[in-house]
């Protein structure tokens, strides 16, 4: 809790804002059903339901507004926070009696992992599916229970939270057959047939009200923010540090990629020989492999967050190295290296940046001059709606190039000056300057008429503040 609690009050970032505005404060039917054209994967349904219950209760007690304006960030993130606090316990629980030292160490590593901390302090469903996956791993069918109801419940809960959790089904089937002897495979097969008899119809019924909308959405390819090559490059960095650590800007840039890869290889080799770590290692390693394969095969899933299982795999590999029974110089060197790595992860956790400092950037932009402020591109409407009342100057929101031109012209006519711009996604605006209908020319127009005066760093992306060229600026302390 101490690792996670300070981050609960940080500014919401775009995905959280979208979830709050489009789902949490909307009527129930908007969460549970969708018509074609209405579905987007930001709705992590079970997580959204929990958020709505918590947020509605908070509104009744007067802690927040029921329309989402001036959001109570900590309350919105409470379901993820609770899941994140329970996750280390779930991962280490089966070892508590047979291997208490290993259980404590594994739980501590999961607790300190910066990426898992980030998941548990964002109003998204990834921390919840990791908790369900960890509990499901502890309940893997063994062929002896008549009906594996508890396991099926965890699987259904994970899939109803985020559909990517469907990879748990083939991954756990393969893991259970790897973990058991050949003579147990017929009972295992019977057990898995029972699981599928439960899981498939229930998930189909739960998603039925939005099935056509999901089919329409996923049948039309959409552009993700990174390529497959970038996914392979970023994934180990996120697993180790919770963000895409620099590749070229630091002389140690390649270490950020090589170190987690070596941990995966060497740590897996150590953990596979330890009976106490065998089950979670096999389950999460295979799930990570299936998740990565899905991300590489599908043009819809090349996002780092679609392979969250790899974070727990890294933690198990770290624990495998530190608890290995091997002796000799290699063991001592690797142990020292892992202790240093854990200490570094703890330091990364302490100084880990907010996902996006949108709220702070809006306040800074408002203080720079007497000009109106314009939120630009992705997240413009949501951030203006939620945090607009904090500003003392007029606020506009333009989510695409046509709206940008229209509103800029209107502001120029009304005030004689262009607005101060807050841009949460600089890199995407630059990347999509050519070819994207809604953003073509946006970056070129911005850089031709504005200059960047401040960037507030973020784990997901920096938030940049632009002012008209040669415009006077009020003196203000630079944001760290």
Is a pLDDT exceeding 90 seen at residue 181? Answer: no
Give the C-alpha separation, 199 to 190, whole Å.
Answer: 14
Is a pLDDT exceeding 90 seen at residue 156? Answer: yes
Model pLDDT, residue 438 = 78
The edge-to-edge listing of strands for the beta sheet with 373-376 is 395-398, 373-376, 420-423, 463-468, 450-456
Mean pLDDT over 219-226 rounds to: 66
Is a pLDDT exceeding 60 seen at residue 250? Answer: no
Percent of the chain predicted with pLDDT > 90? 51
Looking up tokens 């030292």, which residue turns up?
101
Is a pLDDT exceeding 80 seen at residue 252? Answer: no
| 3-state class (DSSP) for residue 369 | coil
Sorting pLDDT into bands at 50, 70 and 90, what band is 75?
very high
- pLDDT tens per residue, range 376-426: 998 999 999 999 999 998 899 999 899 999 999 999 998 888 999 999 999
Helices and strands of the chain, counted as H and E runs:
22, 5
Pick the CATH number of 358-468 from 1.10.8, 3.90.1580, 3.40.190, 1.10.3470: 3.40.190
Is a pLDDT exceeding 80 seen at residue 298? Answer: no
Model pLDDT, residue 27 = 93
The helix or strand, by DSSP H or E, that contains position 445, with its residue range, turns out to be helix 442-449
Quick one: DSSP state of residue 20? I
**Model pTM?**
0.90
Is a pLDDT exceeding 70 seen at residue 478? Answer: no
Model pLDDT, residue 347 = 60
Model pLDDT, residue 355 = 87
The helix or strand, by DSSP H or E, that contains position 152, with its residue range, turns out to be helix 149-161
- pLDDT tens per residue, range 346-369: 565 556 678 899 999 999 999 988
Cβ atoms within 10 A of the Cβ of 23, count? 21
Give the C-alpha separation, 214 to 208, whole Å.
Answer: 10
Q: Are 191 and 143 in contact (CB under 8 A)?
A: yes
Model pLDDT, residue 327 = 57
Helices (H), 226-322: 228-241, 255-271, 275-297, 309-322
Sorting pLDDT into bands at 50, 70 and 90, what band is 169?
very high
Sorting pLDDT into bands at 50, 70 and 90, what band is 146?
confident
Helices (H), 323-441: 329-351, 358-368, 380-387, 401-415, 426-431
Quick one: DSSP state of residue 377? S
- Cβ burial of 471 (10 Å; 0-12, 13-18, 19+) is middle
Is a pLDDT exceeding 50 seen at residue 218? Answer: yes
Among candidates 419, 423, 309, 300, which has minimal Cα distance to 357? 423
CA distances from 173 to 143, 277, 466 (A): 12, 18, 52
Is a pLDDT exceeding 60 seen at residue 287? Answer: yes
**What residue ranges do the domains of the chain occupy?**
5-351, 358-468
Give every CB contact of residue 1 below 8 A, 6+ residues apart in sequence: 85
């Amino acid at each position: 809790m101490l690792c996670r609690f300070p981050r609960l009050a940080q500014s919401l970032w775009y995905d959280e804002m979208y979830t709050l505005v489009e789902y949490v404060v909307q009527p129930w039917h908007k969460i549970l059903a969708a018509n074609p054209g209405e579905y987007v994967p930001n709705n992590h349904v079970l997580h959204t339901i929990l958020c709505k219950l918590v947020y509605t209760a908070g509104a009744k007690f007067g802690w927040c507004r029921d329309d989402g304006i001036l959001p109570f960030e900590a309350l919105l993130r409470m379901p993820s926070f609770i899941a994140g606090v329970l996750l280390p316990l779930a991962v280490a629980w089966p070892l508590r009696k047979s291997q208490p030292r290993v259980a404590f160490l594994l739980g501590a590593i999961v607790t300190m992992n910066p990426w898992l901390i980030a998941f548990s302090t964002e109003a998204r469903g990834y921390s919840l599916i990791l908790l369900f996956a960890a509990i499901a791993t502890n309940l893997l069918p063994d062929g002896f229970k008549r009906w594996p109801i508890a396991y099926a419940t965890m699987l259904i809960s994970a899939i109803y939270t985020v559909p990517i959790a469907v990879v748990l089904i083939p991954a756990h089937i393969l893991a259970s057959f790897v973990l058991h002897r050949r003579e147990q495979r017929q009972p295992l097969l019977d057990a898995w047939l029972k699981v599928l008899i439960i899981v498939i119809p229930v998930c189909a019924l739960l998603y039925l009200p939005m099935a056509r909308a999901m089919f329409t959405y996923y049948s039309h390819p959409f552009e993700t923010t990174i390529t497959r090559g970038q996914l392979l490059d970023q994934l180990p960095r996120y697993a180790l540090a919770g963000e895409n650590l620099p590749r070229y800007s630091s002389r140690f840039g390649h270490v950020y990629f090589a170190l987690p890869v070596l941990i995966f290889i060497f740590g897996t080799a150590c953990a596979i020989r330890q009976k106490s770590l065998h089950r979670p290692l096999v389950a999460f390693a295979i799930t990570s492999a299936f998740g990565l394969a899905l991300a590489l095969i599908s043009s819809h899933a090349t996002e780092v967050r679609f392979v969250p299982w790899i974070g727990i795999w890294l933690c198990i590999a770290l624990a495998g190295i530190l608890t290995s029974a091997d002796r000799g110089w290699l063991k001592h060197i690797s142990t020292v290296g892992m202790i240093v790595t854990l200490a570094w992860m703890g330091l990364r956790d302490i100084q880990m940046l907010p996902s996006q400092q949108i709220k702070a950037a809006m306040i800074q932009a408002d203080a720079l001059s007497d000009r109106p402020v314009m939120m630009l591109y992705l997240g413009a409407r949501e951030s203006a709606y939620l945090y607009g009342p904090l500003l003392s100057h007029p606020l506009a929101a333009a989510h695409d190039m046509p709206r940008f031109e229209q509103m800029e012209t209107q502001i120029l006519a009304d005030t004689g000056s262009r607005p101060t711009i807050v841009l949460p996604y600089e890199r995407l605006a630059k990347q999509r300057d050519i070819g994207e209908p809604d953003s073509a020319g946006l970056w070129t127009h911005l850089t031709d008429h504005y200059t960047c005066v401040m960037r507030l760093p973020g784990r997901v992306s920096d938030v940049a503040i632009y002012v008209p060229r040669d415009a006077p600026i009020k003196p203000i302390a630079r944001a760290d």
